[in-house]
Amino acid sequence: MLKKIITEKRKEISKIKTKETINELKDRISTSDPPKDFKEALNGKFSIICEYKRASPSTGPISSKRLEESIKSFENGGATAISILTEKKFFNGDIKYLKTAKSITNLPILMKDFIIDEYQIFQARAYGASSILLIASICPNLETFINISKSLNMEPLIECENSLEIYKALENGAEIIGINNRNLSNFTIDFNKTRAFAPLIPNEKILVSESGVKRSEDVKMLREYGADAILIGTEVMKSKNPSDFIKDLLIAGTLTPKGGSPIE
C-alpha cells in the first residue's frame, strides 16, 4: 500500500507544480507571518497532537466532521497542536485545510503527508503549516529536507521505523522523533515499537508516539515507555465527545511520569 501511495503522490506533485510554481510559493512565504513554534509547544510537558483525519486506507471513511468543528473540540479538550492530513486520494485530505486551520486556531499546525519532494516543504509553509512530518523510510534526502524545514522556521517531526533511522535523524539535527506504532505495510498496531525505541532517544529530544491510542490505559502505557507526546487521529475523529475524550487522555498522560509508574 505504501508503494502505491508514493506512486500516486509523485503523479500529484507533478501536476501541482504546473499550477503553482515553487517560486510562487517562496514569494508567498516571504510576506507571511512566522509559523507557531511546534517544538516549543511540545517541550517540557506531556502533549497531545490531535489529527484531522477524514479517512484512511486501513479503515475507509472515518468522519465527515467539518474542520472548524473538529479544531474547536481539539482546543476545548486541551490539545497542544493540530495535525492535518493533506493527502487526497487515500486519506481524503486537502492542502487547503492548512490555510483554513491557520485562520481559526493559534495552535501549531503539523502538515501530515507523504513528503518526497522539496516542493512539498515550501507548499506546507506557504499554506500555513508550523511543522511537517518526514517519514525517514521514504524521504529521498533526510538531511536536506530537515535543513530546508528548519530554514523555513518549521521544526519537523521525523518518523522512524528502526534504530538506523533514529540514529540518522539524530545525526542530522532532528529534535522531534516520531515512532509510528502502526506498520505501514499491513496497518497492524504494536505499542512495543515505542517501548523498544524510546531508550535510543536522548532526554533532551521529544518523542512522539503515533497511532493506535484508543483509551487512557494506552496513554499510560506509552508514557511509561517514554513518550513525551502522542499523536491521535482515528479515535478522536470517531468520538462523540472529542473534548472530553482528549481531556481524559491528557489527564492520564500528565499523571503518569515519563518512564515510571502512575502517580497514586
Closest listed residue to residue 48, CA positions, set 72, 79, 76: 79
pLDDT number for residue 263: 42
Helix ranges restricted to H, the chain: 2-19, 22-30, 38-42, 67-77, 96-104, 118-126, 142-151, 163-171, 192-197, 216-225, 234-238, 242-254
pLDDT number for residue 264: 40
pLDDT number for residue 45: 87
The architecture CATH gives domain 2-254: Alpha-Beta Barrel (3.20)
Domain boundaries in the chain?
2-254
pLDDT number for residue 62: 94
Q: How many CB atoms lie within 10 A of CB 61?
A: 9
pLDDT number for residue 183: 78
Residues labelled catalytic: 51, 53, 112, 159, 180, 210-211
CA 24/CA 68 separation, integer angstroms: 28
Mean pLDDT, contiguous 10-residue spans, the chain (264 residues): 90 94 96 96 94 90 94 97 96 96 97 98 98 96 98 98 96 97 81 96 96 95 97 95 97 92 44
Question: What's the grid cell of residue 113?
Answer: 503527508
pLDDT number for residue 262: 45
